[in-house]
Amino acid sequence: MTDLDTAQIQVLLVEDEPGDAGLAQIALRGFRNARFAVAWVQTLAEAVSRIGVVNYDIVLLDLTLPDSIGIDTVARIRTVAGATPIIVLTGQSDTDFGLSTLKAGAADYLVKGDFGYDGLARTILYTLHRARLEQELAEHRFHLEELVDQRTAELALAKEAAEAANRAKTAFLANMSHELRTPLNAILGFAQLMERDSALDERHRGELRTINRSGRHLLALINDVLEIARIEAGRTLIQSKPFDLSDILRSVEEMIRQRAEAKELHFVVEQQGTLPFCVLGDAHHLRQVLINLLGNAVKYTDRGQISLRLTPSEGHILFEVIDTGTGIDPSEQQRIFQPFYQTEAGATFGEGAGLGLAISREFVRLMGGEISVESQPGQGSVFAFSLPLPATDAVAAAIPSVQARVLGLAEGQAPVRILVAEDKADSRELIVRLLGSVGFEVRGAENGAQAVASFKEWRPHFIWMDIRMPVMDGYEATRQIRALPGGDQVKIVALTASVFQERLGDILDAGCDDILSKPFEEEHLFRIMGDLLNLQYRYAEAAPESVNRIFDLSEVSLELRATIKQAAEALDLDAFAGIIESLRQNHPTVAGELEVLVNEFRFEQIQRAAADTGQELLREGG
């Protein structure tokens, strides 16, 4: 393959229209970052003849030639082009048509008139770079598979898969997902486990909350990056199921209202007409879109109101997120949906990775809608999208209620044996200690082979089965256990850190009863076990959600109260971190209460406490 950095890239342009051919040649010759040598032919026969003589790097193929029309043209070129990448140039913007060209053997397709001056050249460079990576990957896999005779059949499958357009990218992203989310599982999990220690003082509990908050923020950023990659790889799955729309709206409203009130913003949910009780759609992705849009509205609004308006119409529902914030300049309104792009205001705030709107737009498109934006600088914005959400008589799945922390098994509960098969020592130790702390009999296994052996010897009631393990993976271990005597009785739940959903069917087909994604909440882990084994738990008394008693700053100096008030007005988390630390030695109770209020973004209550206490002392002094 030609060195893309130094040599001329040999391009065969198969196009019967001289005007289109001329524009393509002008675009390639005018591109400054690479050199292209373009050979132009007007028929399929000429193209086949040229390919037999010249070793071209890439073929640009029109599908309406004098001697060949349609998708078959790709297949006919592919038979003589070997591994040479083919980019189809088409006048059709239909996505299904584009996908059919890829299935026929094209590496990519471009709609004429849509790819811009540099778009054609950049697509060629990207396609060639991707082909080179795929070629290197295929060679590496071939060398490894050649060492094992028993995997000859698997070698052919791997080579075929390596030729797929996004093979290298998908493999990389799957590994990235596992490698990033697995250690985060240990960080967040052990933080939850430590919170169970009643001996911890308030300072250490505050530090644990900081670990949790920072870890969840990091997890959210990682999830956003991987979500964009999954979307680009075509791996996002939309699942239409009956769900209670009011449940989704209530959960979103509770989350957003707290953020809005922290900035003294008014938040309302408006219904224009009667909404159906139960609808058919993807509740998970709808909720994520609403949280992204409403979260942005709160972020960029300093005064006024945030509104979520819903209008039903003939099986569709129009969602509008309206704010009175900074607004968006017209020059930025199309770019805000690009991954990693931030407006000038967004860069000023310095939060997030610029992925929320890009993810939301793709989710809405996958669900059958399109996001629009109307905005004027200084006058706020309206983000709107309409989705097909037909009413249904089916029963919506209930959203699990939040339970208090599990302390142990209920009185009279028979002993329960749990096996944890996980190759990562930190993750395995986390689950073993968590389950052991509430009274389960727990053993660990480092790989699938050990899990099978432990099942034969110990006969556990329940197995947590990591999918990606050495020696024997979770798929094979589950299959072998299911084939053993008594294997049909044990409950097996898969543990996975992958963001890709395409193998969930494989996991269930292997014999798993359910799936738990890492990082996980301990509540979710206990709920799955309780449902599958019909367990009864003892729970801790529910802790108060926030500091509800009067927040008293009377023992704090006037100067420090003024500093606290300023930090609350500015929503300055860095300033609060220093204030809380300075309070810990002489005012530990105040420090703990202030930290809770800051973590819950209850800045209005902090401002009132700082102002009211100061006024009382001033009156006393007068």
Ramachandran bin of 412, using left for φ above 0, alpha for ψ from -120 to 50, beta for the remaining angles: left
**3-state percent breakdown (helix, strand, coil) of the chain, nearest 5:** 50, 15, 35
**Domain boundaries of the chain, sorted by first residue:** 9-137, 241-388, 406-539, 558-621
Neighbour tally for 183: CB within 10 Å: 15
Burial class (CB in 10 A: 0-12, 13-18, 19+), 403: middle
Tokens encoding 439: 């009274």
Rounded CA-CA distance 373/376 in Å is: 10
**pLDDT (0 to 100) of residue 351:** 53
Burial class (CB in 10 A: 0-12, 13-18, 19+), 328: buried
Residue 389 near residue 396, CB atoms below 8 Å: no
Dihedral of alpha carbons 467, 468, 472, 475, sign: positive
Dihedral in degrees, nearest 10, Cα atoms 73, 75, 81, 82: 170
Q: How would you label 166-181 residue by residue, b for 16+ Cβ within 10 Å and e otherwise?
A: ebbbbeebbebbbebb
| Degrees, nearest 5: CA angle 8-14-16 | 135
Helix extents (H) in 163-201? 167-194
**pLDDT (0 to 100) of residue 411:** 85
What's the average pLDDT block by block, 10 residues per block, for the chain (622 residues)?
A: 70 91 87 89 92 90 90 90 89 84 89 78 89 84 72 67 58 63 72 72 76 70 70 75 86 84 88 85 90 89 92 93 89 78 54 73 92 89 94 61 72 91 88 89 95 96 93 94 95 80 74 85 87 87 44 79 82 78 80 74 71 44 36
Neighbour tally for 610: CB within 10 Å: 24
Q: Are strands 462-466 and 108-111 parallel, antiparallel or unpaired?
A: unpaired
Rounded CA-CA distance 60/87 in Å is: 5
Residue 486 near residue 457, CB atoms below 8 Å: no
Residue 547 near residue 590, CB atoms below 8 Å: no
**pLDDT (0 to 100) of residue 543:** 42
Rounded CA-CA distance 419/458 in Å is: 9
Q: Are strands 316-323 and 380-388 parallel, antiparallel or unpaired?
A: antiparallel
Helix extents (H) in 39-94? 44-51, 72-81
Helix extents (H) in 56-115? 72-81, 95-103
Residue 418 near residue 460, CB atoms below 8 Å: yes
Burial class (CB in 10 A: 0-12, 13-18, 19+), 17: middle
Please state the separation of Cα 593 from the chain's center in Å: 33
Residue 258 near residue 190, CB atoms below 8 Å: no
Among the four given CATH numbers 1.10.150.120, 3.40.50.300, 3.30.110.70, 3.40.50.2300, the one describing domain 406-539: 3.40.50.2300
Q: Which CATH superfamily, name and number, covers 9-137?
A: Response regulator (3.40.50.2300)
Dihedral in degrees, nearest 10, Cα atoms 133, 137, 139, 143: 160
Helix axes 356-366, 283-299, angle to 10 degrees: 150
Tokens encoding 28: 């390639």
Enumerate long-range contacts of 492-495, CB under 8 Å, 24 or more apart.
492/462, 492/463, 492/465, 493/462, 493/463, 493/464, 493/465, 493/528, 493/529, 493/532, 494/465, 494/466, 494/467, 495/422, 495/427, 495/464, 495/465, 495/466, 495/467
What length is written for the chain? 622
Nearest in space to 577 (alpha carbons), one of 192, 194, 206, 201? 206
**Contacts with 547 (C-beta within 8 Å, 6 or more apart), sequence order:** 593, 596, 597, 602
Nearest in space to 406 (alpha carbons), one of 267, 305, 525? 525
**pLDDT (0 to 100) of residue 422:** 93
Please give the C-alpha separations between residue 43 and each of 62, 100, 214, in angstroms, as whole numbers. Answer: 10, 22, 60
**pLDDT (0 to 100) of residue 347:** 46
**pLDDT (0 to 100) of residue 271:** 87
Q: How would you label 343-366 residue by residue, b for 16+ Cβ within 10 Å and e otherwise?
A: bebbeeeeebebbbbbbbbbbbee
Rounded CA-CA distance 60/50 in Å is: 13
Nearest in space to 59 (alpha carbons), one of 72, 69, 44, 71? 44
User: Residue 366: what are its φ and ψ, rounded to 5°?
Assistant: -65, -30
Residue 615, SS3? helix
9-137 against 241-388: fold identical:
no
User: Residue 268: what are its φ and ψ, rounded to 5°?
Assistant: -130, 150
Residue 388, SS3? strand
Helix axes 72-81, 44-51, angle to 10 degrees: 20
What does the longest C-alpha to C-alpha distance in the chain come to? Answer: 101
**pLDDT (0 to 100) of residue 400:** 46
* Eight-class DSSP state of 391: B
Residue 616 near residue 554, CB atoms below 8 Å: yes
Rounded CA-CA distance 237/345 in Å is: 33
CATH 3.30.565.10 is right for the domain spanning 241-388? yes
Report the predicted TM-score, pTM, of the whole model to 2 decimal places: 0.45
